[in-house]
Structure 1
Amino acid sequence: MSARYLPCFLSRPAIGIAALAVASVLFTVGFACAVPLAAFAAIAALCFGRREALVATGVVWLANQAWGFAFMHYPLDAETFAWGGALGVIAALSCEAAGLAHRRLSGPLGVVAAFLSAFLVYEGALILIDLVVLEGGDDFAPAVATRIFLINACAFGGLLAVKTLVAGLTPRPEGAATLAPRHI
């Protein structure tokens, strides 16, 4: 097998995924349990192919969980682990929803649809779980849901701006295959 077929650890997707993981840790420091995982899932779906987007979303979730348990003293109990696992699964589903929306719609409408799809799947799944475990949905009062939406929307906008800036500054040889994030 030729060396050109071997995966490079420092490929552009790996760098992008690492950058998203670092950004998620910064959000974890600022927002703890309100980390905008839906925004990260949507931006991953816009930047990468399906497999890399799911990996990116998983790495973002894992970085958030690792930081939370190591430095923010998340409780070490079954409920916290269950919610953490659920957040990972829901983030992956949100990424899939964002990717599907973006594949179906193009241009700015596809970008907005990707974010809204990710957010609706994410919050809808959390509300459903909350109702099923009989917590009554109090964590999803309109004021709380609005705050979470705004955090996710602002994070998505910021991540999209950075993605656009980086894509504009990244040189590519003419006709060369690229590992760079897809253009919106």
Structure 2
Amino acid sequence: MTAVNLPSSLSRAAIGIVALAVASVLFTLGFACAVPLAAFAAIAAISFDRREALAAIGAVWLANQAWGFTVMHYPMDGETFAWGGALGIIAVLSCEAARAATRRFSGAVGACVSFLAAFVAYEGSLIVINLVTGQSGEDFAPVTVARIFLINACAFGGLWALKAVAANTASGRKLSGTLAPRHI
């Protein structure tokens, strides 16, 4: 039997980015346009260096948009395109907020703070857009925000667990070492 070469770090990053994009499509199947972008932004931030994290969240956003327009038949109008673009920017801002948190905190606390930072950036950006455009505030009722938070928190927890299992399986590292956010 021959040994299997582990992929280079670039290949592992590419596999991780594709895996997150595919996972986002799976979430889209269950939640329509409510893909948990804050959860994906936090996972990207704790899993990759800055460039790879931004590529990952961009791939998640792009996969979600492609699926929405081709399979779910999002309307082809200016408002839908504008919201799609805004969500892409918000996803990047959420990823950057999560990365800032990972530089200040480590371990499980760092991962959780990273997620909270991503969620605050995500919801805060949506609130700002809502205020600027003069739209109704009913989408930000506490019960709605709590529901979106719960979806994102569960998605983050699941993705974090999968990340730990994949890292443990792929490299033989101890599970406890894989749960710590990556510091760059």
Counterpart-to-counterpart distance in 1, 2:80 and 2:179: 35
Q: Which amino acid aligns with 1:137?
A: G
Counterpart-to-counterpart distance in 1, 2:9 and 2:137: 43
**2:98·2:117 contact (CA, 8 Å) conserved in 1?**
yes
**1:17·1:59 contact (CA, 8 Å) conserved in 2?**
yes
Q: Where does structure 1 differ by over 6 angstroms across 4 or more consecutive aligned residues?
A: none
Q: Which amino acid aligns with 1:54?
A: L
Other-structure match for 1:133:
133
Normalised TM-score (structure 1): 0.88
Aligned pairs for 1:32-181 within 5 A: 32-171=32-171
Measured at CA, do residues 139 and 46 of structure 1 come closer, stay the same or move farther in structure 2, by a change above 3 Å? same
**1:48·1:182 contact (CA, 8 Å) conserved in 2?**
no
Gaps of 5+ in 2: 1-7
Secondary structure at the aligned position of 2:125 is classed as helix
Aligned identity (percent) is 66
Aligned length: 170
**1:20·1:40 contact (CA, 8 Å) conserved in 2?**
yes
Query: Alpha-carbon deviation of 1:182?
Result: 8.8
Counterpart-to-counterpart distance in 2, 1:117 and 1:147: 17
Gaps of 5+ in 1: 1-7, 174-180
Q: Which amino acid aligns with 2:48?
A: F
Counterpart-to-counterpart distance in 1, 2:110 and 2:179: 13
Q: Which amino acid aligns with 1:116?
A: L
